């Protein structure tokens, strides 16, 4: 990776991946792009920024050619719960961005990273230690349908054209910097803010709902390690299971109570989010990522909670949230 373009740079992953990549590869070698500069003031001030509607293929091609891009991070996507409100829009944006990225990458000799997700699995998928290669046909969300399509399409471009496509199936991502928006796993971020603000949280998925989760520093490191991995060692491409921790709302609440003993948790279940969460794995088997490119998570629930509470507290004290 020498000249990088991140599309969807203002989103939950991009807003942290862009500075992370700039610190490694140099500010001027990482071009951030999103629909408008207002959304990403910090990114636009710190390095090259382009306003881009990813469905505008002509402008997308111009940016890739002008900067001589060799690696594209295709991060544009509507998340699972938002997708259910407007499935057609979710398909058009999620798959429209990906098809443009793959086509432009093919014509301009770029590598492509695209995040997949636990959302690529469905009701018929084995729930515990979900294998790397398994059933993905009973997907219940448009987000998941897009993720499965994205995995297949990215493998197709690799097999048919030799395009260097790589991706991971992210768990729910937890971070103190940028709030997620419209995902099913969002509760696991919101709970820290509400614990510090009010000492209480109302959760929209039931006790006993286990999902894979990951702290953002692990997620960012995974992206770079996969993209820098020796291609000869990769038996899989799109997408690798990666895991760090699996918990239900009671588990994260118990960890928060070690810092805030009076913390209260109650429930007001959102049936759409609950159905999505029930269709996803409880925990994934990430041994293929471990074996093929050395993946290993560093943050467990305890270590993440210790850090999240400190960082969110600082943010609240500064009036930044």
Interface with ligand AKB (CB under 6 A), residue from 7, 44, 111, 118? 118
Residue 79 near ligand AKB by CB under 6 A: yes
Q: For residues 30 and 40, is the Cβ–Cβ distance under 8 A?
A: no
Residue 52: Cβ-neighbour burial (10 angstroms; 0-12, 13-18, 19+): buried
Q: For residues 168 and 240, is the Cβ–Cβ distance under 8 A?
A: yes
Sole window of 20-28, 29-37, 116-124, 217-225 interacting with ligand AKB (rule: CB under 6 A): 116-124
Q: Taking the complex as a whole, how short is the minimal distance between the CB of residue 282 and ligand AKB, in angstroms?
A: 13
Site string for ligand AKB, 132-171 (x = CB under 6 A): -----------x--------------------------x-
Question: Which of 143, 157, 192, 299 is flagged as catalytic?
Answer: 143
Is residue 25 annotated as a catalytic residue, yes or no? Answer: no
CA angle, 8 as apex, 6 and 10 as ends, to 5°? 100
Nearest to 54 by CA among 6, 110, 97: 97
Q: Which is nearer to ligand AKB, 48 or 183 (CB)?
A: 183
Residue 14 near ligand AKB by CB under 6 A: no
The Cα–Cα gap between 97 and 136 comes to: 22
Phi-psi label, residue 88: left if phi above 0, alpha if psi -120 to 50, beta otherwise: alpha
Q: Which is nearer to ligand AKB, 143 or 263 (CB)?
A: 143
Residue 185 near ligand AKB by CB under 6 A: yes
The helix/strand/coil state of 111 is strand
Site string for ligand AKB, 197-226 (x = CB under 6 A): ------------------------------
**170 bridge partner residues:** 117
The Cα–Cα gap between 179 and 190 comes to: 8
Q: Which is nearer to ligand AKB, 170 or 192 (CB)?
A: 170
Catalytic residue numbers, as ranges: 143
Binding site residues, ligand AKB, CB under 6 A: 79-80, 117-119, 143, 170, 172, 180, 183-185
């Amino acid at each position: 990776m020498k000249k990088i373009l991140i599309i969807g740079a203002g989103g939950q992953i991009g807003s942290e991946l862009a500075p992370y990549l700039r610190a490694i590869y140099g500010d001027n070698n990482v071009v951030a792009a999103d629909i408008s500069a207002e959304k990403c003031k910090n990114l636009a001030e710190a390095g090259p920024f382009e306003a881009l509607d990813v469905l505008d293929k002509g402008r997308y091609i111009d940016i890739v050619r002008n900067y001589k891009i060799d690696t594209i991070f295709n991060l544009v996507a509507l998340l699972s719960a938002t997708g259910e409100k407007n499935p057609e829009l979710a398909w058009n944006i999620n798959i429209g961005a990906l098809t443009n990225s793959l086509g432009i990458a093919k014509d301009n000799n770029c590598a492509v990273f695209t995040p997949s997700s636990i959302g690529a699995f469905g009701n018929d998928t084995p729930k515990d230690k979900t294998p790397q290669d398994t059933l993905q046909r009973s997907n219940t969300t448009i987000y998941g349908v897009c993720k499965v399509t994205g995995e297949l399409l990215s493998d197709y471009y690799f097999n048919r054209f030799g395009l260097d496509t790589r991706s991971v199936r992210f768990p729910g991502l937890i971070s103190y910097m940028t709030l997620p928006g419209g995902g099913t796993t969002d509760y696991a971020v919101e709970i820290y803010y509400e614990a510090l603000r009010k000492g209480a949280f109302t959760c929209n998925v039931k006790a006993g709902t286990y999902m894979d989760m990951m702290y953002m520093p692990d997620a960012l490191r995974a992206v770079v390690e996969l993209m820098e991995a020796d291609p000869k060692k990769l038996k899989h491409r799109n997408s690798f299971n990666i895991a760090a921790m699996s918990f239900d709302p009671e588990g994260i609440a118990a960890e928060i109570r070690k810092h805030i003993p009076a913390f209260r948790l109650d429930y007001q279940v959102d049936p759409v989010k609950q159905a999505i969460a029930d269709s996803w794995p409880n925990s994934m088997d990430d041994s293929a990522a471990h074996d093929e490119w050395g993946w290993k998570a560093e943050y467990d629930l305890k270590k993440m909670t210790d850090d999240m509470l400190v960082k969110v507290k600082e943010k609240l004290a500064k009036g930044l949230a």
